[in-house]
Amino acid sequence: MDIASLIDFLHAAEKLKCSTRHCSTSSGRRESVAEHCWRLALTAELIRGEFPELDMDRVVGMCLFHDLGEAVTGDIPTFVKTDSDRRVESGAVDSLLSLLGEPERGRIVRLFAEMEALETPEAKLYKALDKLEALIQHNEADISEWLPNEYSLQLCYGDAECGFSDFTKRLRKAVRLESEEKINASRKFPENG
C-alpha cells in the first residue's frame, strides 16, 4: 500500500468529521457524518450473530464508506436530495477513491456498486441499518429539533428497507414505538412559553 496515497485519502475523509447532518445528538449539537457512519458500523458489528449467513465484513465496510461523498458535498437530507445531488455525490466518491491505489480502490468501488444495486442481502442489511440509525438518532435528539415532516417520517421511514428480514422488522417496530412514545409525550407536556 502506498503510504502517501493512504494519508491523502485519510485527509480527504477527515471532512466527514466536519460535515454535520441535519439532526442533533442527545446533547443538542449537530451530529457529524462520521459519527453516523461509526454508529452504523457499530450496529452492524453488534448484530453479526443475527446474520451468520452474511458476509458481515462487507456490511461493516458499506456502513463505513456509504456516505464518503459527503466529505465533499456535505449532508443533504434524504427528503430533499435530488438525482442531481446524487450524481454530484457519486462524482465526489469517484474523485476521493482516485486517491487510493489498488486493490483498495477496486474493493471499495465494488462495495459502492453493490450498495447501489441493493440486490444482495448484505446491501439490503446495510440500507436497513442506515435508515434505522437515522431514526434512532432522531429519537435521541430533543423533539424540538425535529422538522415538521419528521413526525410522520419517524413512523414510516425505512419500513420498506427493513422488510427483508425478521430481525430488521422487529428492530424497526421497536424504533417506531420509541418514536410514538416521544411524540405522544411531547403532546402531553408542551413547553412553557
Q: Is the backbone peptide bond immediately before 103 cis, with ω within 30 degrees of 0?
A: yes
Burial of 13 (0-12, 13-18, 19+ CB in 10 A): middle
Model pTM above 0.75: yes
**Cα(192)–Cα(159) distance, rounded to whole angstroms?**
34
Residue 175 DSSP SS3: helix
What residue ranges define each of the domains in the chain, with the CATH number in brackets?
A: 3-188 (1.10.3210.10)
Quick: pLDDT tens for 42-89. 999 999 999 999 999 999 999 999 999 999 998 888 888 899 988 999
Task: Return the bridge partners of 24, or none.
Answer: 30
The SS3 call for residue 191 is: coil
Could you read off the pLDDT of 111-139 as tens digits, one per residue? 999 999 999 999 999 999 999 999 999 99
Q: How many whole angstroms separate alpha carbon 113 and alpha carbon 171?
A: 26
